Amino acid sequence: MRSLIISFLLAVLFPSLASAEQISCKVVGISDGDTLTCLASGNKQIKVRLAEIDAPESKQPYGAQSKRILSDLVFGKLVVLSIQDTDRYGRTVARVQSAGVDVNYELVARGAAWAYTKYLKDQKLQDAQTLAGNMEKGLWALPDSSRVAPWDWRAGERTASAPKAEPTRTSSFPKLGNATGDGGFSCSTIKHCSQMSGCAEAMHQLRVCRNPQIDGDRDGVPCEAICR
């Protein structure tokens, strides 16, 4: 009977969590305001992207504060993951609970993250964002010019860093260099993340050019500010 009551309460209070696969793990790393690493049983390492929210990128205003808030909530603690999906970078997409606190919701309520409208399932997150905005909590206290949704910021970064088209070449001689043919990218120069034209080039540098410096946490996702 008790288990039935608990299941009913989960379904009513957290409908998006009630039917999800759940895993317990200890948080051992924080990448940014919406990404963490935890250890499950058998020391299995899990990279977790918090579901349905989007926190400011590290280079954005309030990015460092958002990361710190997530760290205060979960670092070194046992959490329960309610898994929704696996993203294209192999990260586990999940709602996270710590000591009964819905961490995804708490981040939005504190103004440390946006409700990610593209992937939103829980309307309570949007309601929490509206309330945080009205009360000017966290990032909502920033000037309008500094308050840019992370998905818009990433799109702007990709546009700004896109390489300009080269003039048409009439020469029939082959172009010299160390290009591999993979998207036209070259391994002749080992680059930093700030020099990448976009995620595709970062992936090329990591996987083809064997450039480990752009994957500091060794999770297979380079330059996480642009590869999300």
What is the model's pLDDT at position 148?
A: 94
Question: Catalytic residue at 57?
Answer: yes
What is the model's pLDDT at position 202?
A: 80
Report the share of the chain in percent with pLDDT over 70.
Answer: 79
Measured CA distances, 101 to 84, 98, 107, 184 (Å):
18, 5, 10, 47
What is the model's pLDDT at position 13?
A: 54
Among 2-16, 59-73, 133-147, 200-214, whose mean pLDDT is lowest?
A: 2-16
User: Is 1 a domain residue?
Assistant: no
Question: Catalytic residue at 68?
Answer: no
Q: Are residues 101 and 22 in the same domain?
A: yes
Beta strands 44-50 and 92-98 are: parallel
Q: Are residues 124 and 185 in the same domain?
A: no
Choice among 91, 95, 110, 228 that is catalytic: 91
- For the entire predicted model, the pTM comes to 0.64
Residue 26 clears pLDDT 60, i.e. is over it:
yes
Choice among 2, 21, 57, 169 that is catalytic: 57
User: Is 220 a domain residue?
Assistant: yes
CATH at residue 29:
2.40.50.90
Out of 124, 147, 170, pick the residue that ends a domain.
Answer: 147
Average pLDDT over residues 16-24: 73
Domain count, the chain: 2
CA distance 99 to 103: 10
Question: Catalytic residue at 49?
Answer: yes
Q: Are residues 220 and 112 in the same domain?
A: no
Domain that holds residue 73: 14-147
Residue 116 clears pLDDT 80, i.e. is over it:
yes
Among 31-40, 60-69, 143-152, 200-209, whose mean pLDDT is lowest?
A: 200-209
Predicted confidence (pLDDT) per residue in 127-173, tens digit: 999 999 999 999 999 999 999 999 999 988 766 665 655 544 433 33
Q: Which two tokens stand for residue 166?
A: 């080269």
CA distance 62 to 142: 8
Out of 130, 147, 164, pick the residue that ends a domain.
Answer: 147
Q: Are residues 70 and 19 in the same domain?
A: yes
Q: Are residues 129 and 25 in the same domain?
A: yes
Q: Are residues 192 and 140 in the same domain?
A: no
CA distance 139 to 109: 11
* Of 42 and 202, more confident: 42
Return the SS3 of 196: coil
Q: Which two tokens stand for residue 95?
A: 């709602």
